[in-house]
Structure 1
Amino acid sequence: MEYKITGCKPEKLFHFFEEISAIPRGSGNEKAISDYLVAYAKERGLWYYQDELFNVIIKKPGSKGAEEQKPVMLQGHIDMVCEKLEGVEHDFTKDGLNLLVEDGALTADGTTLGADNGIAVALMLMVMDDETLAHPPLECVFTSQEETGLFGAAGLDKSQISASTMINLDSEEEGIATVSCAGGLRIIASRKVEREEINGTQLQLSVSGLMGGHSGSDINKGRQNGNILMARLLYRLLEGTDGRVVSFVGGTKDNAIPRECKASLVYADSKEAENAKALAEELAEAFRDELAAYEKEFACNVTSQEAVVSALTREDSMTVVKAVYMAPNGVQKRNMTMEGFVVTSTNLGIVNLEENVMYINFSPRSSVVSLMEDLKLRIRLSMEEYGFDCEFSAEYPGWSYKEESAVREVFKDSYRDLFKDELKIEAIHAGLECGLFSDALPGIDAIAVGPTIQSCHTPDERLPLDSVERFYELLTDVLKRMANL
Structure 2
Amino acid sequence: MKYITEGIYPERVFKNFENISSIPRGSGNEKEISDYIMSFAKSLGLETIQDEYYNLIVKKAATNGNIDGPTVMLQAHVDMVTEAVDGSHHDFTRDPIEIIIEENKMRANNTTLGADDGIGVAYIMAILESNDIIHPNLECVFTTNEEIGLVGVGKMDLSGLKANYVINLDSEEEDFILVGSAGSIDTTISLKKEYKPAVPTNIALEINVKGLFGGHSGMDIDKQRGNSNVIMGRILNSITHEFDLFNISGGSKRNVIPRNSEAVLSVNPEHLENIVREIQKTTAKIQKEIYAVDPGLKVELRRSAPADFKVYTDDCKKRIIGLLTFIPNGVISFSNKIPGTVETSSNFALVRETYNKIDFTSLTRSSLQSQKEYVTSKLKLLANTFNAEFNSDSEYPAWEHNTNSQFEELSVKIYENIFGKKPGVVVMHCGLESGILLSKLNHKAEAISIGPNTFNVHTPEEYVEISSIAKMWDFLIEILKNI
User: Normalising by the residue count of structure 1, what TM-score does the alignment of the two structures yield?
Assistant: 0.96
Equivalent residue, structure 2, for 1:294 = 293
Gaps of 5+ in 1: none
Q: Which residue number corresponds to residue 345 of structure 1?
A: 345
Partners in 2 of 1:143 and 1:327 — Cα distance?
A: 32
- Cα deviations across residues 90-142 of structure 1 (Å, max 9, x unaligned)? 11111111111123211111111111111110000001111101100111000
8 Å contact from structure 2 (residues 245, 264) kept in 1: yes
Identify the residue that residue 60 of structure 1 maps to in structure 2.
Answer: 60
Question: 2:175 maps to what in 1?
Answer: 175
- What CA distance in whole angstroms lies between the structure 2 residues aligned with 1:197 and 1:161? 62
1:159 is paired with a residue whose SS is coil
In 1, Cα distance between the equivalents of 2:387 and 2:315?
12
CA displacement at 1:273 relative to structure 2:
2.4
Shift of 1:63: 0.4
Give the fraction of aligned pairs with identical amino acids, expressed as a percent.
Answer: 35
* 1:222-233 correspondence runs (5 A): 222-233=224-235
The residue number in structure 2 matching 1:323 is: 323
The residue type paired with residue 301 of structure 1 is E
CA distance in structure 2 between the aligned counterparts of 1:247 and 1:45, rounded to whole angstroms: 56
2: CA distance, partners of 1:340 / 1:476 = 31
| Per-residue Cα deviation, 1:37-77 (whole angstroms, up to 9, x for no partner) | 11011111100110011100100011035544211000010
- AA aligned to 1:216 is G
The amino acid of 1:181's aligned partner reads: S
Counterpart of 1:397 in structure 2 is: 397
> C-alpha deviations, 1:390-438, integer Å up to 9, x for none?
1111110101111222221221122111111112100111111111112
Q: Secondary structure at the match of 1:307?
A: coil
Q: Is the 1:74–1:124 contact (alpha carbons within 8 Å) kept by the matching residues of 2?
A: yes
Farther-moved stretch of structure 1 (17-26 vs 185-194):
185-194
Cα displacement (A) at 1:305? 2.3
Instruction: State the Cα distance separating 1:307 from its structure 2 match.
Output: 2.0
Aligned pairs for 1:56-205 (under 5 A) are 56-64=56-64, 66-198=66-198, 199=200, 200-205=202-207
Deviations 1:188-208 (A, max 9, x none): 221210233423111111111
The answer as to whether partners of 1:203 and 1:277 remain within 8 angstroms in 2 is no
Q: Which residue of 1 aligns with 2:221?
A: 219
| Aligned counterparts, 1:323-402, within 5 A | 323-402=323-402
Q: How far did residue 144 of structure 1 move? A: 0.5
- Given residue 460 of structure 1, which amino acid in structure 2 is its aligned partner? E
Can you list the C-alpha shifts for 1:8-36, whole angstroms capped at 9, x where unaligned?
A: 11212101001101111111110000001
In structure 2, the residue matched to 1:452 is 453
Deviations 1:256-304 (A, max 9, x none): 111111111111x211223212211222222222222221111111121
Q: Is the 8 A contact 2:241 2:271 kept in 1?
A: no
The one-letter code sitting in structure 1 at the alignment partner of 2:342 is: V
Cα deviation code 1:294-320 (max 9, x no counterpart): 211111111212221332122211211
1:275 alignment counterpart = 274
Tell me the number of residue pairs that the alignment of Structure 1 and Structure 2 aligns.
Answer: 479
Tell me which residue corresponds to 1:42.
42
Q: Which residue number in structure 1 is paired with residue 413 of structure 2?
A: 413
Partner AA of 2:130 in structure 1: D
Compute the displacement of 1:350 (Å).
Answer: 0.5
1:235: how far off? 1.6
* AA of the residue aligned to 1:319: R
Q: Secondary structure at the match of 1:402?
A: coil
Equivalent residue of 1:80, what SS? coil
How many angstroms does 1:478 deviate by? 0.8
Amino acid at match of 1:82: T
Which whole-Å CA distance do the structure 2 matches of 1:368 and 1:335 have between them? 10
Q: Which residue of 2 aligns with 1:17?
A: 17
Instruction: Look up the match of 2:264.
Output: 264
Per the alignment, residue 305 of structure 1 pairs with: 304
Per the alignment, residue 477 of structure 2 pairs with 476
CA contact (8 A) 1:8 1:469 kept: no
Paired residue type of 2:203? T
Query: Helix, strand or coil: the match of 1:393?
Result: strand
Tell me what 2:432 maps to: 432
**1:334-353 Cα shifts (integer Å, max 9, x gaps):** 22452242111111100113
Q: Deviations over 1:221-268 (max 9, x none)?
A: 11111100011101222x451x1111211111111111111111111x
Counterpart of 2:96 in structure 1: which amino acid? Answer: G
Which stretch shifts more, 285-294 or 220-229? 285-294
Match of 1:234 among 233, 236, 256: 236
How far apart are the structure 2 equivalents of 1:67 and 1:466?
35
Q: Take 1:407 and 1:336, find their aligned partners in 2: how far apart are those partners? A: 25
Task: Supply the AA of the counterpart residue of 2:475.
Answer: L
In 1: Cα distance, 2:82 partner to 2:299 partner: 24
Partner SS for 1:213? coil
